[in-house]
Amino acid sequence: MRTLTEQLTQYAAYHRDRRNIATHFVGIPMIVLALAVLLSRPAFAWGAAPFVASPAWVLFGAATLYYLVLDIPLGVMMALVSVACVALGQWLAAQSTLTWLASGIGLFVVGWVFQFVGHVAYEHRKPAFVDDVIGLLIGPLFVLAEALFGFGWRPTLREAIESRVGATRINADRAAVHR
């Protein structure tokens, strides 16, 4: 299994333009929340357990275990994000069918639009998951790590990634070619 640094580096190689990363800060959370919403039906109560089980909990639980294997501190932060997403997803899933589907499908579609606009308009490169499907799982981790890097979190990890794929940039040189 690849390490956290290897996973983030591989994903970062497809995301060096800051504008593309900015679209991911919008699109990926929308997609993640959409999955939580859409997969929160059906929900099953297990006896006297204080929570209900749903496909969303299974997906987010499995993803969190993977994140924890990669890195405990980042995995714990992703666990908190996951709990918040599934809680909101459960709330939306408990609304009318129209509200549930409109919010879930709407978030999903608009989130992917942001993703593809970022790659087509700014990065000029296909999304990472096209070459490695694990990119679908690493995307949310990448967004969280990038946000934390902005606050000075784990500079050695950021430096290790950038030493392999370069610093983020605004692709002025590519923009001039496409005019």
Assess if residue 48 is contained within a domain.
no
Element (H, E) at 29: helix 18-38
**CA dist 138 to 70, 96, 102, 127, Å?**
11, 32, 26, 12
Percent of the chain having pLDDT more than 70? Answer: 95
Q: Which domain holds residue 127?
A: 4-42+53-177
Q: The pTM is what?
A: 0.89
Count of other CB atoms within 10 angstroms of residue 90 = 20
- Supply φ then ψ for residue 75, to 5 degrees: -65, -40
Sign, CA dihedral 33-112-38-135, equals negative
Q: What are 132-171's pLDDT values in tens digits?
A: 889 999 999 999 999 999 999 999 999 999 999 998 887 5
Q: Express each pLDDT in 82-93 by its tens digit.
A: 999 999 999 999
Which residue type, as a one-letter code, is found at position 158?
Answer: R
| Contacts (Cβ under 8 Å, ≥6 apart) of 5 | 157, 160, 161
Whether the predicted pLDDT of 50 surpasses 90: no
- The arithmetic mean of pLDDT across residues 17-21, rounded, is 93
Domain count across the chain: 1
The answer to whether residue 47 sits within a structural domain is no
